[in-house]
């Protein structure tokens, strides 16, 4: 079986973890945390970065920073992971779900514009598969309506919008280093603060609501409880692991992009024949090769192809179920119709993509897709065929 994901290890993870142990500072915000944060700030131009225990934690920090209160409305895509919504639900926000674009899963700016009300406080965008949303249009909407923008950049490491790093455009952003991401630390994440007004408070929230970081810098003689907060810091062991990954970022990205391109080249003929749709990369976006997906012509075709691939030894996986249809959100009431998000849930299939895939692995996966269609299942025939 060609597995869907396999974590990549650079070879220095244990060495750096041992170094962190030797330095006897394991609780966070030590040498490796600061190395990682400086790396991101210098390479991508982020104003301030704070490592967190997860992307979920970073999103929760963002909700606190923006002072989201009960009754505030927060617009976000329905086609996303539950953490995007949970962070704001925990602050009492009313979640307003927007549809995806017709040709790719990112949030529809046109639909966002229709959803803005007097109660709207923030727009959360999710850069699906590391491909940028239309950020100029989003930021223009936010400026016009005096709204904050949060970039859920969980999948978007080393990806860009018109030469701007994803995560550097919104007021704040959140990244993930979960083991399924391009750069990993097992669990782990990062909050990015691009708006100067939030920098000082973010550090306090990060340190359990205290000015402890200022104390360690010698800026105050004692630290105290000055705001709300929680234990958002990762340990130095997590940061040491992440540092070993960051040293290999360029190699990791090179390999993933090669794999992504091999999939594209191997499947484009069938996509041209309308058997399925391949990923769309808008002209303003780059591709960081986080996900290679295809969209089938129907939900039945999705199920049949997943079954065929499994029996051909390829672990392919669907993706999100739309949050606007979830039991928690609907509470038994009829959900709104978001046709594009619903369609991607019913048709999208992710193929294996990780550093240590081989050329022959990808060739086998492409061949398995073709074989499934060659079996001439009626459900798998292209649109318009009898």
Whether residues 272 and 178 share a domain: the answer is no
Q: Are residues 20 and 43 in the same domain?
A: yes
Question: Exposure pattern of 113-140 as b/e (b: 16+ CB <10 Å)?
Answer: bebbeeebbbbbbbbbbbbbbbbeebbe
CATH number where 50 lies = 3.40.640.10
Domain-terminating residue out of 196, 221, 246: 246
Residues 60, 202, single domain; the answer is yes
CATH for 286: 3.90.1150.10
Tens of pLDDT, residue by residue over 179-209, are 999 999 999 999 999 999 999 999 999 999 9
In a domain? residue 385: no
Burial of 332 (0-12, 13-18, 19+ CB in 10 A): exposed
Q: 161 and 29 in one domain? A: yes
pLDDT band at 379 (very low <50, low <70, confident <90, very high): low
Task: For 48-57, write each residue's pLDDT tens digit.
Answer: 999 999 999 9
pLDDT in tens, 306-363: 999 999 999 999 999 999 999 999 987 878 999 999 999 999 999 999 999 999 999 9
pLDDT in tens, 45-89: 999 999 999 999 999 999 999 999 999 999 999 999 999 999 999
Q: 292-296 and 276-277 as β-strands: parallel, antiparallel, unpaired?
A: antiparallel
pLDDT in tens, 209-256: 999 888 888 888 889 999 999 999 999 999 999 999 999 999 999 999
**How distant, in Å, are the alpha carbons of 18, 243, 378 from that of 32?**
12, 7, 55
Please check whether residues 42 and 182 belong to one and the same domain: yes
**Domain-ending residue, one of 246, 281, 315:** 246
Indicate the helix (H) or strand (E) that contains 136: helix 135-145
386 pairs with which residues across the strands? none
User: Order of strands, edge to edge, in the sheet holding 148-152?
Assistant: 48-52, 189-193, 172-176, 148-152, 120-126, 73-77, 94-98
Whether residue 212 is found in the same domain as residue 169: yes
Please tell me whether residues 256 and 236 are part of one structural domain: no
Are the C-beta atoms of residues 93 and 334 closer than 8 Å to each other?
Answer: no
Query: Are 160 and 269 found together in one domain?
Result: no
Pair 198, 65: CB distance under 8 Å: yes
326 and 343 assigned to the same domain? yes
* Residue ranges making up the domain that contains 299: 249-380
| 207 in the same domain as 277 | no
Query: Do 181 and 253 reside in the same domain of the chain?
Result: no
Number of domains in the chain: 2
pLDDT at residue 385, as a whole number: 45
Instruction: Taking each helix axis as running N to C, give the angle between helix 82-89 and helix 55-65, from 0 to 180 degrees, rounded to the nearest 10.
Output: 40
Each residue of 261-286: pLDDT tens digit? 999 999 999 999 999 999 999 999 99
User: Measuring CA to CA, which residue among 50, 16, 13, 41 is closest to residue 231?
Assistant: 50
Write down the pTM of the prediction: 0.96
Are both 154 and 253 inside the same structural domain? no
Domain assignment present for 74: yes
From 246, 262, 277, give the residue that closes a domain.
246
């Amino acid at each position: 079986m060609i597995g869907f994901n396999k974590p990549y290890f650079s070879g220095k993870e244990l060495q750096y973890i041992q170094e962190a142990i030797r330095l006897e500072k394991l609780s966070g915000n030590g040498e490796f945390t600061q190395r990682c944060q400086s790396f991101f700030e210098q390479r991508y131009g982020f104003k301030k970065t704070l490592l967190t225990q997860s992307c979920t934690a970073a999103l929760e920090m963002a909700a606190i920073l923006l002072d989201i209160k009960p009754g505030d409305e927060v617009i976000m895509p329905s086609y996303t992971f539950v953490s995007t919504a949970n962070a704001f639900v925990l602050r009492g926000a009313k979640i307003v779900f927007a549809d995806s674009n017709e040709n790719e899963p990112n949030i529809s700016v046109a639909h966002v514009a229709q959803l803005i009300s007097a109660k709207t406080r923030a727009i959360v965008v999710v850069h699906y598969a590391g491909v940028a949303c239309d950020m100029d249009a989003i930021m223009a909407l936010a400026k016009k309506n005096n709204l904050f923008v949060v970039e859920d950049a969980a999948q978007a490491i080393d990806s860009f919008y018109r030469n701007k790093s994803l995560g550097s455009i919104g007021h704040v952003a959140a990244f993930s280093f979960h083991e399924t991401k391009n750069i990993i630390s097992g669990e782990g994440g990062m909050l990015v603060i691009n708006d100067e007004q939030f920098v000082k408070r973010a550090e306090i929230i990060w340190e359990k609501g205290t000015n402890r970081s200022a104390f360690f810098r010698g800026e105050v003689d004692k630290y105290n409880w000055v705001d709300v907060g929680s234990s958002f810091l990762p340990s130095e062991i997590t940061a040491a692991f992440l540092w070993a990954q960051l040293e290999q970022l360029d190699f990791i990205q090179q390999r993933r992009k090669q794999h992504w391109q091999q999939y594209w080249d191997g499947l484009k003929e069938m996509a041209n024949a309308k058997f399925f749709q391949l990923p769309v990369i808008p002209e303003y976006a780059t591709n960081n090769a986080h996900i290679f997906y295809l969209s089938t012509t129907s939900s039945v075709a999705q199920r049949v192809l997943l079954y065929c691939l499994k029996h051909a030894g390829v672990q392919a996986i669907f993706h999100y179920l739309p949050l606007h249809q979830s039991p928690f959100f609907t509470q038994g009431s009829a959900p709104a119709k978001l046709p594009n998000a619903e369609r991607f849930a019913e048709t999208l299939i992710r193929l294996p993509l990780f550093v240590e895939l081989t050329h022959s692995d990808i060739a086998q996966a492409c061949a398995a897709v073709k074989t499934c269609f060659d079996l001439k299942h009626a459900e798998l025939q292209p649109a318009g065929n009898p």
